[in-house]
Amino acid sequence: MRLLVTLARQYPARTSLTLFALILSGTVEGIGLSALFPMLNQIQQTGAQPEAPEWLENLLGIFNLEPTIKVLAITLIVGMWLKSILLMTANSQVGFTVARVATDLRLRLLRALMEARWSYYHRQSTGGLANAVATEAMRASEAFLQGARMASFMVQVVVAASVAFVVSWQVTLGALGGGLIVLVTLSWLVRVTRRAGSNQTDLQRSLLATLTDVLHSVKPLKAMAREFFGDSVLQNETKNLNKALQKQVLSKQALLSAQEPLMVTLGVIGLYFYVTHAENQMPIASLMTLILLLVRVLIHLNKVQRQYQEMAGSESAFFAIENAIAEAQAAREVHTGTTTPQLKEAIQIQDVSVAYEDNKVLRKADLTIPVGQMTTLIGPSGSGKTTIVDLVAGMVTPSEGQVLLDQLPLSETDVKAWRRCIGYVPQETLLLHDTLIHNITLGDPEISTDDVIRALKDADAWSFVQQLPDGLETMVGERGGLLSGGQRQRIMIARALVLRPALLILDEATSALDVESEAGIAKTLHRLCGELTILAVSHRPALIECAHRVYRLDSGVVSIETQQ
């Protein structure tokens, strides 16, 4: 029930409208069903005036109507039609809300992820986050749908039980008691479903995370004939998920199969004791009406439990994605700087130290990145080169010292505005399985085709793009697999250049290239110097030779290697 309460708070308007329509439809249905009892009595006692409940006579009196069999029949028919229309309205609102729940959960998670600190992503699984967006959001919306249906059936139970209560409160209480006995007896199956649903949520996240890792590593695995390793891991994950699904299916089928015979058994026992022991048995018409109402009550009680079971099996997905959103929001980046950044002189790192937990990555680092020149950072892995890049981009905050943009502390700068001045080329060629032009614009509508062509020319990529079968509309394949390594890297540089950045950062961007491709890119970078500022992380000779300034990092200590 916590799921329904949570979603009701998040969507108060739609929830209120849905509840109002359900209650109103139940009230109208109750009025219609109340007309059934006197109608059947009148049919049994031909010629007698139907005896309607006093409240129904008063209601009809408002419209100057007598409770004749004709009026009661019309009341019954109108009540059923109005009930159906109102129920359709309520269910439509539920359907709209179901769609909103899935969409809003996805958007909230994506926003929270995009606003999180860079350090937050180090602890996250890409596959797990993809599962939250794709699967858990949909299962969460389905849980809400089942809960709303449960509420709808519950309203119908209350209505039918109220009318039956008027006919015979003793028999109605007995029937409700029997129904509750069935619900309590079978409640353990709901608990089994809830546990299986929770396991399903965990296992689906684990499976997709493992699948993502295996697919990223499929080439080296196949090259070493070790694809069986990925296959065996995925098989184990899939088998565990299958077991959870089987438990969920079995518990649902067990509940469905056990409800009817239990209800019939209790009903027959109750009817037997009524026929054999009741001193003042009611007229056959009243008994028929009561049986009809109580059958309706018990059927809807069964549906209430089944819908509750369905909701229990899926609600773990909702709370899992809510937890993911809360974690990402707790890791949100907070920047207080407001000054518009300008880069006219230099970027300076002054007396900066950075530590990750107990590991001190930089120790009192000092370096200057002059405007219009190329600065290259060299040194062994783990020496702090990428940390320098993260400091410049405002991704990491120094524990000591400061980063300056033209003598202005980066902490006082509008960091998002500063990042819009940066073009970044990572070591991995992260191309999308889409067209070449989309890989450069990333869907930004403000980037024109002329901007793309200019960026390709700046990256010395336009000549080979013109020779592709579909030019800018050529599909590059998964992770750019239809292009060569040098071509992929030039597309990445074009992506970084398309918004005319003030600073171009290359983080080991040529490490996977052959000597000829790297020399070509080094030539391109040398030509771009003067138009923009370049910061490169590399250990390759080509990017060292064309640099104006080279800094060496070793165990977190920075020293200048060469300077032109």
Inter-residue contact 300 to 179 (CB < 8 Å) = no
**pLDDT confidence of 38, banded at 50, 70, 90?**
low
| Beta strand residue intervals within 211-280, DSSP E | none
As a whole-number percent, the residues of the chain with pLDDT over 70 amount to 83
Inter-residue contact 374 to 534 (CB < 8 Å) = yes
Taken in order 494, 495, 496, 500, is the CA torsion positive or negative? positive
Nearest to 559 by CA among 399, 363, 367, 360: 367
Q: Residue 56 and residue 540: Cα distance in Å, rounded? A: 91
Q: Residue 489 and residue 2: Cα distance in Å, rounded? A: 50
Q: What would the DSSP string read from start to end of 126-142? A: HHHHHHIIIIIHHHHHH
Over residues 207-227, mean pLDDT: 65
**CA 104 distance to own-chain centroid:** 8
pLDDT at 283: 61
Lowest mean pLDDT among 17-31, 126-140, 188-202, 339-353: 17-31
pLDDT at 155: 80
Which range among 193-202, 423-432, 499-508 has the greatest average pLDDT? 499-508
Give tens-digit pLDDT for 316-345. 888 888 888 888 888 887 777 778 878 888
| Beta strand residue intervals within 143-243, DSSP E | none
**pLDDT confidence of 55, banded at 50, 70, 90?**
low
Topology of domain 346-563, CATH: Rossmann fold (3.40.50)
Lowest mean pLDDT among 28-32, 234-238, 241-245: 28-32
pLDDT at 314: 81
**Is residue 359 predicted with pLDDT exceeding 70?**
yes
Over residues 535-558, mean pLDDT: 79
Q: Residue 454 and residue 60: Cα distance in Å, rounded? A: 80
Helix (H, G, I), strand (E, B) or coil at 441: helix
**Is residue 116 predicted with pLDDT exceeding 70?**
yes
Lowest mean pLDDT among 40-44, 46-50, 461-465: 46-50
Q: Residue 50 and residue 73: Cα distance in Å, rounded? A: 11
To the nearest whole number, what is the mean pLDDT of the chain? 77
Give tens-digit pLDDT for 249-298. 787 778 777 777 777 777 777 766 666 666 566 666 566 666 777 777 78
Q: Range(s) for CATH 3.40.50.300 in the chain?
A: 346-563
Over residues 370-393, mean pLDDT: 83
**Is residue 126 predicted with pLDDT exceeding 60?**
yes
Single-letter amino acid, residue 162: S
The pTM of the full predicted model, rounded to 2 decimals, is: 0.69
Q: Range(s) for CATH 1.20.1560.10 in the chain?
A: 2-201+248-330
Total residues belonging to the chain: 564
Nearest to 4 by CA among 329, 310, 325: 310
**Helix 12-34 vs helix 54-62: crossing angle, to nearest 10:** 110
Q: Residue 344 and residue 387: Cα distance in Å, rounded? A: 23
Nearest to 317 by CA among 159, 141, 174: 141
- Answer yes or no: CATH 1.10.10.10 is held by domain 2-201+248-330: no
Q: Residue 197 and residue 189: Cα distance in Å, rounded? A: 12
Q: What is the side-by-side strand order in the sheet with 557-563?
A: 422-425, 503-507, 533-537, 374-378, 549-554, 557-563
Over residues 100-115, mean pLDDT: 83
Ramachandran category for residue 394: left, alpha or beta (phi over 0 → left; psi -120 to 50 → alpha):
left
**pLDDT confidence of 216, banded at 50, 70, 90?**
low
Q: Which residues contact 358 (CB under 8 A, 6 or more apart)?
A: none
| SS3 annotation, 38-64 | HHHHHHHCCCCCCCCCHHHHHHHHHCC
